[in-house]
Structure 1
Amino acid sequence: MEFIKDLSGGFSVIENLMVSGAREGKFGVAIIYSPNSTASAVFTSNKVVAAPVNYTKNVLKKGIISAVLVNSGNANCFTGKKGFKDCETLAELVSNDLNLPKDEIAISSTGVIGREMPIDIISKVAYESLSKLGNGPENSLAAAKAIMTTDTFPKECAIEVTLTTGETVKIAGITKGSGMIAPNMGTMLSFIVTDAVIPSDEINKALKKSADISFNMIVVDGDESTNDTCLMMANGTSNVEVVNEGKLDSNFQEALNYICIDLAKKMARDGEGATKFIEANVYGAKNETDAKLAAKSIISSNLFKSAVFGGDPNWGRIVSAIGYSGCDLNPDIVTIAIADDSDDVDLVCNGKILAFENTPNLKRAEKIMQSKNVKVNIDMHLGDGEATAWGCDLTYDYVKINAEYTT
């Protein structure tokens, strides 16, 4: 999209925003300091909800967030009243240090479920992080690293968007997540800041739209976490309003979609133990809902994910996943293809099988399945519904990582 320009430096591209990160062993703390920002968030739909999720939901009732403290290494989930009290302790710590109202400080956590927060360690690391607040690229990177758990690389993104009015604003974000990733968000934390002027209720509507086509369309393992949070803040330093006459600028929505999809794909690519990235594109579905069902079903199939790991072009697992997804499907007209960065081949075309033993199509498919990036393209020939989902292969290392997670 011509109106979106990729930038380097993560959060450093946003004025009047300071961030930091620090770690002590497996425990990390990131601070995001953006005074008097309008804000909203989307959260996990898990019925077991971590204390920081409930705490931050209460804070967001005001619609203003001035700072966020994010800790890794402990989820502060299933910790009862003490868990909520620990959130208050951390918020008070930030409030006193930055001279901010306590009810403008959000708390977010990720890590092991069911263990009390090691508040002394987290507080110590929080003070260290607060002492390092800055607006440089190194500060943004430190924050992205501080919130990592089983992630293998930090994840950040920054863009400049030219609005339909010709004015420009910037959006930047960081995220973490590589396991417990499933539709309806996963064990992911994502924090987005824009310099645009936008009311909190409009942030909420825009963020829900973006999350629905990004964070809600990735699958690593099918498990949904208790701490999932995607929080967005607008500090207004550009003095550019993106809502005019009650309507959000369409270019701003597209840019928010772009940054959320970019961060979501980075999580899928960094799935625990992953060796390959999978993209499932569904076209011609009866409607968008059916397209999403089919795309997520393909990405969620452990049989297909295992086949991708082994380089096996077993397209029967693809059509089976579509078949049980709940979408409308006519096997006699469906087209199934796979692709990588240099080739694409039909396995089934309009219901006719093209890839069977010793055929050229099967040989090409076998080669494609060895690639690091594997795309599945489905045309249902039933309507105009489209959707894309992202995920990764299922490997031996995934089992090893999660078999030894707390030991």
Structure 2
Amino acid sequence: MAVGPDTLPTLHPVAGFKIGIASAGIKKPGRRDVVVMEFPESASVAGVFTKNAFCAAPVHLAKANMATGQVRYLVTNTGNANAGTGEQGMADAKAVCAELAQRAGIAATQVMPYSTGVIGEPLPVDKIVGALDAALADLKEDNWLDAAWGIMTTDTRAKAASEQIDVDGKTITITGISKGAGMIMPNMATMLGYVATDAEIDQVLLQSWMSAATERSFNRITVDGDTSTNDSCTLVATGASGVRIEADSAAATAFVEAFNRIMLQLAQLIVRDGEGATKFVEIRVDSAETSKEALDVAYTIAHSPLVKTALFASDPNWGRILACVGRAGIENLDLDALQIYLGDVCIVEKGGRAASYTEEQGQAVMNEEDILIHVVLNRGSASETVWTTDLSKEYVSINADYRS
């Protein structure tokens, strides 16, 4: 189950960035579950990673190898997170990198590994290694859609976005994929995300744009309030277009705007495919004193089981939203000054139910798949937006049966 149309844009190949997909049968026989990505040594690589203290072995290794500045390959497996696996988990992640490096004729430190799936189980190294030759043989620039399917776990849809922009008469391409449906409340990025461009961009500048875009996209989504042990998002600039983008230029402005759109699309696609989701919910908080204050209100609403189940039932039980605003921890909150809206329908003002509100108005909004909850605190100029889902019976079923 997912919300909204299941359509993807044309996925433009990125010059200098090749992808190969193969089947290791980690969790299901025949499932294409190993993805290898290749790019030139001259490429710039930026990344953001989970802040979960129990972050997986591949996260530790990917961060360390990215720091060398010489990465050539990314390798991803699904079906097993290689998290909570101790010293053996790190040895297994290194073994996969070493095997890929040996086949590609590079150093093992030039490979960044990624894993996603069940936590606490040993990584099936032999199965993954057994699929590497097939993945390398499959390397090509137009494999984005197959890769989007290959990195999925409980997802029901592939998630991808792509844009081309004109820079000084030349075309720059930005294409990306992501995966995630449950255990989504990122504290850096999403469960897994990969974006590539054929522009030439300095690594330090690339990292700054990556971090800023992540904060406004993947760090503003939540399905269930759980931050994964494996969250990683990587951005690669191959430079194959021959167009170099410098800071504080018109080209930089155009690139950043397009890149930010890509990142937000990938993040919102995860919410739309949230486990068991039937609603796509935007929670906008305006006129807060600080960004943190706005986010505190937004996340209190987004993580409320009572609000989320009311959304699933299409029940305009506005008292649950009001209660969340009241318990968000905002000091000296003026209840008479704030307003709460469902869509464009005012449901709360002057400390209680809006005089103009009718149950029919609220019901009409709640019947929609895409719903806006809008809180206006009227105490400052800060605004923030968070995207989330409802909480359905299917979510419980998916996660109760996940390991079976």
1:143 maps to what in 2?
A: 147
1:106 maps to what in 2?
A: 112
2:156 maps to what in 1?
A: 152
1:56 maps to what in 2?
A: 62
Does residue 335 in structure 1 map to residue 339 in structure 2? Answer: yes
Q: Deviations over 1:315-360 (max 9, x none)?
A: 2222222233334532211111112xxxx311124545227xxx76
Structure 2, unpaired ranges of 5+: 1-7
- 1:76 CA drift (Å): 0.6
Q: Deviations over 1:236-281 (max 9, x none)?
A: 1122222246999233222222111111100011111111111111
- 1:288 CA drift (Å): 2.2
2:192 maps to what in 1?
A: 189
Question: 3-state SS of the aligned residue for 1:292?
Answer: helix
2: CA distance, partners of 1:317 / 1:184: 26
Question: 3-state SS of the aligned residue for 1:375?
Answer: strand
- 1:374 CA drift (Å): 1.0
Question: 3-state SS of the aligned residue for 2:71?
Answer: strand
Q: Deviations over 1:19-63 (max 9, x none)?
A: 122333536111111122211211111110100000011101112
1:162/1:78 CA distance change after superposition, 3 Å: same
2: CA distance, partners of 1:292 / 1:63: 35
Q: Which amino acid aligns with 1:67?
A: Y
Q: Which amino acid aligns with 1:251?
A: A
1:34 maps to what in 2?
A: 39
Q: Structure 1 stretch 365-374 or stretch 391-400: which is displaced more?
A: 365-374
Q: Structure 1 stretch 52-61 or stretch 236-245: which is displaced more?
A: 236-245
2:5 maps to what in 1?
A: none
Give the conservation status (yes or no) of the 8 Å contact 1:345–1:361.
no
Q: Which amino acid aligns with 2:386?
A: A
1: CA distance, partners of 2:165 / 2:301: 33
1:263 maps to what in 2?
A: 266
Q: Structure 1 stretch 216-225 or stretch 280-289: which is displaced more?
A: 280-289
1: CA distance, partners of 2:22 / 2:146: 7
Give the conservation status (yes or no) of the 8 Å contact 2:186–2:228.
no
Q: Structure 1 stretch 26-35 or stretch 320-329: which is displaced more?
A: 320-329
Question: 3-state SS of the aligned residue for 1:274?
Answer: coil
Question: 3-state SS of the aligned residue for 2:67?
Answer: helix
1:399/1:281 CA distance change after superposition, 3 Å: same
Identity %: 36
Give the conservation status (yes or no) of the 8 Å contact 1:22–1:142.
no
Q: Structure 1 stretch 127-136 or stretch 171-180: which is displaced more?
A: 127-136
1:57/1:313 CA distance change after superposition, 3 Å: same
Q: Deviations over 1:346-405 (max 9, x none)?
A: 1124545227xxx76321211221211111112111121111111111011111111111
Give the conservation status (yes or no) of the 8 Å contact 1:184–1:217.
no
Q: TM-score, normalised by structure 1?
A: 0.90
Structure 1, unpaired ranges of 5+: 1-6
2:133 maps to what in 1?
A: 127
Q: Which amino acid aligns with 1:34?
A: F
2:77 maps to what in 1?
A: 71
RMSD of aligned Cα (Å): 2.3
Give the conservation status (yes or no) of the 8 Å contact 1:41–1:204.
yes
1:330/1:125 CA distance change after superposition, 3 Å: farther
